[in-house]
Structure 1
Amino acid sequence: MTLPTAKNIELLGLDALTPYDRNARLHTEKQIKQIAKSIAAFGFNNPILIDSDQGIIAGHGRLEAAKFLGLETVPVIRLDHLSDKERRAYILADNRLAELSQWDEKTLAAEVEALQVADLDLDAVGWTEDELQALTASLDEAEALEDEPVSLASDESNSETKSFRFEFDISDHAELAEMLDNLRRRYKLDSDAETFEHLVRGAHG
């Protein structure tokens, strides 16, 4: 199967590009400055995607970052094979699909630590110092819980049945599902049942 593929990168002046007036993705001033730092550190490696009329399909944040840096031209890729309906759909898909991926937090923390040792400005990577500290603290807490020995053996000399009651507001089922999913991924559990068992063990301890 052969798919349409953009092949050429062009350089265009910033004023030649037209932002999409129905772009649903918002860029804060803070994020634009972070994008600008990334471009300054690594180069303009992700061209702006445009249609045949030089309207922006993807890259509104990169355009604003280029303005912030005072650039005169930016690299663009022309997607003139898209119909109007496909163009509008792709604008949403380009923003949405990246949000659906997840981080491997242990690998991320290891990479961040290596970059910190190399004295790289992590603002150019997109994380603030507070966010990195929160990530490290979360992983340290998870590792401490994993290393803590858990015994389910009963003491026959002082046998006692303990019961635990968990109450959840049914209106918060989405929040509960998200909490269980986060715990399951963090502790590499296989099911909701194992996740609840993990919670019970924590309460028992």
Structure 2
Amino acid sequence: MSKVKLSDLIPDDRNANVGTEYGGYLLTQSLQQLGAGRSILVDRNNRIIAGNKTVETAAAIGLDDVQIVETDGKTIIAVKRIDIDLDSKEGRELALADNKVSQVNLNFDADVVDELAIDFDIDVKSWGFDAIEPEETEIKLPSGEKGFRQMTFTLSDLQAQEVETALKLCKKKNDFQGTGNENSNGNALAAIVAHYLSQFNG
């Protein structure tokens, strides 16, 4: 075993999972309240194969230390939390959080999957990637009072820059009180769309 810093790890620059906003929120809550559980996976050069979102979130909340266990794939590696019993509030809560974050923080980028299939001759259909469409997922907030949907779009670099600029300008001009949505980007996008539609309805 060896110890390194989180900054020594290299993120996957072609990670097919773009994640979701709600999944990122839950991942942050889990790491902050319950600590690290599931391990990540790196290659021989410390490039991250699995766990990119975990590393991003850990860095954001100040978790710096990484303990590396080397293996050739022929041995199952178990991460042992010596401070937790499964049949305790913390143990069961960590198990639930782990499963829920895995469920809601998965959002595949269809373009990246297609590129990887071509560049590395991967039969992605054999892994269940029959037809990947942009995700539109209904999200229930912790209060359970309102339903939200996560929507993902694929844009060119120029389009993305224009969208980001428009969102920033809209957020400076509006306070979005009373929308029931705490996401500033979502509020700004909805305001821009409403303004656009008003040109046809006015």
TM-score (norm 1): 0.35
* Larger Rg, first or second structure (1 or 2): 1
Considering fraction of residues, name the structure with more helix.
1
TM-score (norm 2): 0.35
